């Protein structure tokens, strides 16, 4: 059997830190409100001359170095992003060029905060179908550019960053299962409704969110996808060594863990340091837990994401 395995992880956060106290000077909010309602302490803001592909470039180099994978080995590039460098070409193509990777498929996946899970599932299917040997999968976002900095209900929640993994062909699993879901009837709950037309932005180019409804939706589906993944693999909750959820809100993460009966000690949380980085949040958290030694070979790691679309999904991995 052919499987895919994650052989290297990497991440990158821009230098500029925006703390909750900084936000107190920008909108009517408080460090206390942001910490208790979201778990976020600070987030990173990309420099004006940085694009999503630049953040991805740094994360990708780190992942390739960690996996001892060379540029010549990569034969698929997938970038999960909601904040691409430009309308086209894709951020994946721009990244491919910046890395100096030769001819291979390269494309973006747009599934908002579930983007990394979607991209990983797609790369896994390419590898298992024998269509590629080593895939670079990146989640990269610059949400600071689509935030209305006068709207306290959204601007305190998000940040910029990138995370990457290299997936390689293997005769040992690897990725045990992936499950992807979407329900477009919820599209208005979380969106950036603007578009480009006639040389101008048409409509609102900032994030709009019905936070309470999104919160309830997220806690429900994040529990469901864990049970779905475990059932497919004949596993129990107790078999999970690490849960790596999308990093949106500590209350969503705690509520999911409580409903599942998973101790928070087995849940990887990094959102305090970078806020909600959408498609970058899961690979940022994976890289942190790999580099500090929590995730070890043989561990069962369950990734789960939910976001605009609505989209949601999981990936169960034997590390
Ligand atoms: O990535 C996936 C998509 N995103 C998410 O998963 C986010 C999901 N939603 C959430 O995380 C939460 O709903 C929020 C963090 C967005 C909001 O938390 P909440 O506990 O649901 O607060 P709320 O919207 O019910 O607002 C409570 C109060 C309101 O004031 P009143 O009406 O009670 O007087 C808000 O106006 O908090 C107020 N508020 C704030 N106060 C200080 C809203 N934003 C802020 C703020 N600072 N930044």
User: Which of 172, 190, 208 marks a domain boundary?
Assistant: 172
Residues 223 and 144 in one domain: no
Residues 165 and 191 in one domain: no
Residues 160 and 180 in one domain: no
Spatial distance between the Cα atoms of 111 and 255, rounded to a whole number of angstroms = 23
Catalytic residue list contains 204 = no
The average confidence (pLDDT) of the chain is 97
Query: How many A from CA of 235 to the centre of ligand 1?
Result: 36
Pocket flag, ligand 1, residue 113 (CB < 6 Å): yes
Pocket flag, ligand 1, residue 215 (CB < 6 Å): yes
Confidence of residue 244 (pLDDT cuts 50, 70, 90): very high
Residues 7 and 153 in one domain: yes
Ligand 1 atom 39: residue of nearest CA = 153
pLDDT at 93: 98
Pocket flag, ligand 1, residue 214 (CB < 6 Å): yes
Mean pLDDT of 258-283: 97
Catalytic residue list contains 276 = yes
Residues 256 and 145 in one domain: no
In angstroms, the Cα distances linking 108 to 24, 53, 89, 120, 287 are 35, 11, 9, 12, 21
User: Which of 172, 192, 227 marks a domain boundary?
Assistant: 172
Mean pLDDT of 248-276: 97
Residues 107 and 217 in one domain: no
CATH number of the CATH domain containing 128: 3.40.47.10
pLDDT at 85: 98
Confidence of residue 24 (pLDDT cuts 50, 70, 90): very high
Catalytic residue list contains 20 = no
Confidence of residue 288 (pLDDT cuts 50, 70, 90): very high
What burial letters (b/e) apply to 178-217, b meaning 16+ CB within 10 Å? bbbbeeeebeebbbbeeeeeeeeeeeeebbbbeeeebbeb
Pocket flag, ligand 1, residue 276 (CB < 6 Å): yes
- By residue range, what is the domain housing residue 153? 3-172
Residues 167 and 19 in one domain: yes
Query: How many A from CA of 293 to the centre of ligand 1?
Result: 34
Confidence of residue 5 (pLDDT cuts 50, 70, 90): very high
Pocket flag, ligand 1, residue 38 (CB < 6 Å): yes
Residues 60 and 117 in one domain: yes
The number of domains in the chain is 2
Spatial distance between the Cα atoms of 123 and 160, rounded to a whole number of angstroms = 24
Residues 109 and 256 in one domain: no
Q: CA 209, 156, 290, 298 torsion: positive or negative?
A: negative
Residues 56 and 131 in one domain: yes
Concatenated DSSP letters of 200-264: EEES--S-EE-HHHHHHHHHHHHHHHHHHHHHHTT--GGG-SEEEE--S-HHHHHHHHHHHT--G
DSSP letter assigned to residue 178: E
Residues 166 and 270 in one domain: no
User: Which of 172, 205, 225 marks a domain boundary?
Assistant: 172
Span 183-224, pLDDT tens digits: 999 999 999 999 999 999 999 999 999 999 999 999 999 999
Residues 190 and 146 in one domain: no
């Amino acid at each position: 059997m052919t499987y895919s395995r994650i052989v290297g992880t990497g991440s990158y956060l821009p230098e500029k830190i925006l703390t909750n106290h900084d936000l107190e000077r920008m909108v009517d909010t408080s460090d206390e409100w942001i910490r208790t309602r979201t778990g976020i302490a600070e987030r990173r803001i990309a420099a004006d001359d940085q694009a999503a592909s630049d953040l991805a470039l740094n994360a990708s180099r780190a992942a390739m170095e960690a996996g001892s994978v060379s540029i010549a080995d990569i034969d698929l590039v997938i970038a999960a992003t909601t904040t691409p460098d430009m309308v086209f070409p894709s951020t994946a193509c721009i990244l491919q060029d910046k890395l100096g990777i030769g001819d291979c498929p390269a494309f973006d996946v747009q599934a908002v905060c579930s983007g990394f899970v979607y991209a990983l599932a797609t790369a896994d299917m390419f590898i298992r179908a024998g269509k590629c040997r080593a895939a670079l999968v990146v989640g990269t976002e610059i949400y600071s550019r689509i935030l209305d900095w006068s709207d306290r209900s959204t601007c305190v929640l998000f940040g910029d960053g990138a995370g990457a993994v290299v997936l390689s062909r293997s005769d040992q699993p690897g990725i045990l299962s992936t499950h992807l879901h979407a329900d477009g009837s919820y599209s208005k709950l979380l969106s950036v409704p603007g578009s480009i037309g006639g040389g101008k932005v048409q409509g609102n180019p900032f994030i709009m969110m019905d936070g309470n409804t999104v919160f309830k939706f997220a806690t429900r589906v994040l529990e469901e996808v864990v049970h779905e993944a475990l059932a497919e693999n004949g596993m129990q909750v107790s078999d999970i060594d690490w849960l790596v959820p999308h990093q949106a809100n500590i209350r969503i993460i705690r509520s999911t863990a409580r409903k599942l009966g998973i101790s928070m000690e087995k849940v990887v949380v990094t959102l305090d340091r970078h806020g909600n980085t959408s498609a970058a949040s899961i690979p940022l958290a994976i890289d942190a837990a790999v580099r500090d030694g929590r995730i070890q070979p043989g561990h069962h790691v369950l990734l789960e994401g939910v976001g605009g679309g609505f989209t949601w999904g999981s990936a169960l991995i034997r590390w």
